[in-house]
Amino acid sequence: MTQQHIDVLVIGGGLAGLSAAAALPDTMSVQVIEMETAPGYHASGRSAAMFEAEYGPAPVRVLSRASEAHHRNNGYLSPRGMMLVGSPAQADEFAADCATLSMTVIPVEQAVQMVPDLDPEKIGFAAYHDTAEDLDADRLLQDFAKELRRKGGTLRTGAQVTAMRRLGPDELQSGELKSDDLQSGQAGAHVGWEVTIATRSGQEQLRATYVVNAAGAWADDIARLAGIAPIGLQPKRRSMARLPAPAGHDVRDWPMIMGVSERWYAKPDAGKLLVSPADADPMPPQDAYADDMVLAEGLARYEAVMRTPVTRVEHNWAGLRSFVADGVPVLGPDPVDPSFVWCAGQGGYGVQSSPAAGRLIAALITGQPPEIDAATVAALSPARLHRPDLEASA
Ligand SMILES: Cc1cc2nc3c(=O)[nH]c(=O)nc-3n(C[C@H](O)[C@H](O)[C@H](O)COP(=O)(O)OP(=O)(O)OC[C@H]3O[C@@H](n4cnc5c(N)ncnc54)[C@H](O)[C@@H]3O)c2cc1C
């Protein structure tokens, strides 16, 4: 029986998968497969939704800067600002953070004017910059999905990839591997992939020339299904608590406030305050939830510099930020099998960097020159990673 053949099958309907799918040309058939019933259910729907161009390792900063025009032109950004605060005992850490985040030291009195609930008796240092902005992550995601549909692509939810098989050249169906449309030679010696998808109504198989692995915390599981060497991805939990605004305070114009060495942060959100313990506890891939003790410890670090104690948490949640050993995202064709394209390891930057990351994946599939410099493309490539399978064959 002839199976449906598509050019690019994207696994994962988070910001990574949708940004890549939306950036592919309308001459390619593209399908995004998402196991949950809605896109953005995992990390992409649980973020702090900040744009901070100076946050993260150098290749991430290149991607974030290259994404800024997309965010600004579509009206996703709104002013927020970021304040760093430290206790009198944290002088060295405070100075290091100021340098890394390009922040300007301000008098403690000025910090208290901006955030009147800060206790000047408890903070020794403060710094500020206005380049951190709120980012409308929900609209960003919905607009990528709209752009995908406008180009004739499909987003399927409630569909889980459960198996993958490489197809050999002898399994070619008529009309398959439209090499005129695709970058010549990229698909390697085989035709592509047969991907098994489980839905509520049963199982089905799709054939695809390229697979983009944008499965977030599950990206190494997808590699194992495909018989591709995993990249050592480590999901790490980050939790959030939503608190009522401290009594008597209108928090809407407060900046994001961060403790030194990112031990906690707080951010206004629709008249309330989001406080994160900035936890980074390693976890297996899962539907993450906040741990009460971790939240309580984080809230205590926040309270240590504020006047008003926390009396009530209205809501809490957690999401997984996934990293490889060097903390840099993994974007590009697998060095052993270029028809398997990695789009993983976005860590804590996958919202803000998604437009340029998605365009990079599309450029690498179609053979267009990437918009970012070659050294950054190499620094993001899976080819940089320590891979015992490659070293054994070298
Ligand atoms: C608390 C928190 C705060 C954050 N704050 C920020 C921030 O301020 N700014 C910023 O830029 N980033 C932030 N991040 C990071 C950002 O959220 C992530 O980097 C980004 O969302 C990762 O996107 P993704 O698409 O790779 O992952 P996900 O959104 O997790 O998407 C992966 C998708 O793959 C699907 N999937 C997995 N396996 C399968 C399968 N077998 N079949 C089908 N589908 C599958 C999953 O269901 C999931 O929806 C934060 C993260 C957290 C948790």
- Contact (CB, 8 A) for 247 and 234: no
* Spatial distance between the Cα atoms of 118 and 130, rounded to a whole number of angstroms: 19
The DSSP line for 66-122 is: HHHHHHHHTT-EEE--EEEEE-GGGHHHHHHHHHHTT-EEE-HHHHHHHSTTB-TTT
* Spatial distance between the Cα atoms of 235 and 271, rounded to a whole number of angstroms: 31
Determine if ligand 1 sits within 6 Å of the CB of residue 265.
Answer: no
pTM (two decimals): 0.94
What is the Å distance from ligand 1's center to 342 Cα?
Answer: 14
Confidence at residue 185, expressed as pLDDT on a 0 to 100 scale? 44
Confidence at residue 172, expressed as pLDDT on a 0 to 100 scale? 66
Q: What counts of helices (H) and strands (E) characterise the chain?
A: 10, 20
Q: Which tokens hold the place of 32?
A: 């995004």
Determine if ligand 1 sits within 6 Å of the CB of residue 199.
Answer: no
- Which residues of the chain register pLDDT less than 50? 178-188
* Spatial distance between the Cα atoms of 128 and 319, rounded to a whole number of angstroms: 27
The 10 Å CB-count burial string (b at 16+, else e) for 171-207 is eeeeebbeeeebbeebbeebbbbbbebeeeeeeeebb
Q: Which residue out of 37, 52, 136, 218 has the highest number of ligand 1 atoms within 8 Å of its CB and is therefore the one to mutate? A: 218
Determine if ligand 1 sits within 6 Å of the CB of residue 49.
Answer: yes
Determine if ligand 1 sits within 6 Å of the CB of residue 80.
Answer: no
Determine if ligand 1 sits within 6 Å of the CB of residue 34.
Answer: yes
Confidence at residue 1, expressed as pLDDT on a 0 to 100 scale? 57
Phi, psi angles (nearest 5°) of residue 270: 50, 50
Confidence at residue 248, expressed as pLDDT on a 0 to 100 scale? 86
Phi-psi map region of 227: left, alpha, beta (phi>0 left; psi -120 to 50 alpha): left
- Contact (CB, 8 A) for 87 and 124: yes
206 Cβ contact partners less than 8 Å away, ≥ 6 residues apart: 3, 4, 5, 6, 9, 31, 194, 195, 197
| Nearest CA residue ID for atom 53, ligand 1 | 319
What is the Å distance from ligand 1's center to 40 Cα?
Answer: 7
Determine if ligand 1 sits within 6 Å of the CB of residue 195.
Answer: no
Q: Element (H or E) spanning 354, and its range?
A: helix 354-366
Determine if ligand 1 sits within 6 Å of the CB of residue 281.
Answer: no
- Contact (CB, 8 A) for 123 and 305: yes
Other C-beta atoms closer than 10 Å to the C-beta of 87 total: 16
Give Cα 129 distance to the centre of its chain: 23
| Nearest CA residue ID for atom 21, ligand 1 | 44
What is the Å distance from ligand 1's center to 106 Cα?
Answer: 35
Determine if ligand 1 sits within 6 Å of the CB of residue 256.
Answer: no
* Spatial distance between the Cα atoms of 187 and 75, rounded to a whole number of angstroms: 38
> Across-strand partners of 340?
211
Write out the CATH class of domain 5-47+138-233+326-393: alpha beta
What is the Å distance from ligand 1's center to 231 Cα?
Answer: 17
Angle at 37 between CA 33 and CA 41, to 5 degrees: 90
> Across-strand partners of 210?
8
* Spatial distance between the Cα atoms of 131 and 62, rounded to a whole number of angstroms: 15
**Ligand 1 atom with the shortest distance to the CA of 12:** 34
Q: Is CATH 3.30.9.10 the right assignment for the domain spanning 82-129+234-323?
A: yes
Longest CA–CA span in the chain (Å) reads 75
Confidence at residue 178, expressed as pLDDT on a 0 to 100 scale? 44
Listed by start position, the domains of the chain span: 5-47+138-233+326-393, 82-129+234-323
Confidence at residue 391, expressed as pLDDT on a 0 to 100 scale? 63
| Nearest CA residue ID for atom 38, ligand 1 | 215
152 Cβ contact partners less than 8 Å away, ≥ 6 residues apart: 26, 29, 30
Determine if ligand 1 sits within 6 Å of the CB of residue 24.
Answer: no
Confidence at residue 389, expressed as pLDDT on a 0 to 100 scale? 64
What is the Å distance from ligand 1's center to 41 Cα?
Answer: 8
* Spatial distance between the Cα atoms of 214 and 24, rounded to a whole number of angstroms: 14
**Ligand 1 atom with the shortest distance to the CA of 240:** 1
What is the Å distance from ligand 1's center to 346 Cα?
Answer: 8
**Ligand 1 atom with the shortest distance to the CA of 222:** 41
Determine if ligand 1 sits within 6 Å of the CB of residue 267.
Answer: no
What is the Å distance from ligand 1's center to 237 Cα?
Answer: 11
The 10 Å CB-count burial string (b at 16+, else e) for 118-154 is beeeebbbbbbbebbbbbbbeebbebbbebbeebebe
